[in-house]
Amino acid sequence: MREPTAVRARRRHPGARTALRTGGGDVVSALVLVAHGTRSTKGVELIGTLAEAVSRELGAGISGPGTEFRGPWVRTAFVDVLGPSPSEVLRDLDRKSVPAVVVPAFLASGYHVYQDVPREVADSGHPMVAVTPAIGPDPALARVMAMRLHAEGWRPGDAVVFAAAGSSDRRARQDVRSAADLLADRLRTPVTVGYIATGAPHVPDVVAGLRNSGHNRVFIASYLLSHGLFQQRLHDAGADGVADPIGVHPAVIRLIATRYHTATRDLVPVPNR
Q: What is the CATH number of the domain that holds 27?
A: 3.40.50.1400
Domain count, the chain: 2
128 lies in the same domain as 211: no
Query: Average pLDDT of each block of 10 consecutive residues along the chain (273 residues)?
Result: 38 31 60 88 90 90 42 89 93 95 97 96 96 98 99 98 97 98 99 97 99 98 95 98 98 97 72 35
**What's the first-to-final CA gap in the chain, in angstroms?**
33
151 lies in the same domain as 57: no
88 lies in the same domain as 111: yes
Inside any domain, residue 273: no
Inside any domain, residue 211: yes
Inside any domain, residue 271: no
CA dist., res. 54 & res. 83, Å (int): 20
Q: How much is the pLDDT for 24?
A: 42
147 lies in the same domain as 218: yes
66 lies in the same domain as 155: no
Inside any domain, residue 157: yes
Would you say the C-alpha torsion 178, 184, 187, 193 has a positive or negative sign?
positive
pTM summary value:
0.85
Name the nearest CA neighbour of 218 among 191, 186, 241.
241
76 lies in the same domain as 196: no
> What dihedral do alpha carbons 253, 126, 172, 55 form, nearest 10°?
10
71 lies in the same domain as 46: yes
User: Using N-to-C axis directions, what is the helix angle for 86-95 and 117-124, rounded to 10°?
Assistant: 30
What is the span of the domain harbouring residue 186?
139-242
82 lies in the same domain as 158: no
125 lies in the same domain as 144: no
CA dist., res. 96 & res. 89, Å (int): 11
255 lies in the same domain as 156: no
CA dist., res. 12 & res. 161, Å (int): 50
Would you give the distance in Å from CA 219 to the centre of its chain?
Answer: 24
48 lies in the same domain as 111: yes
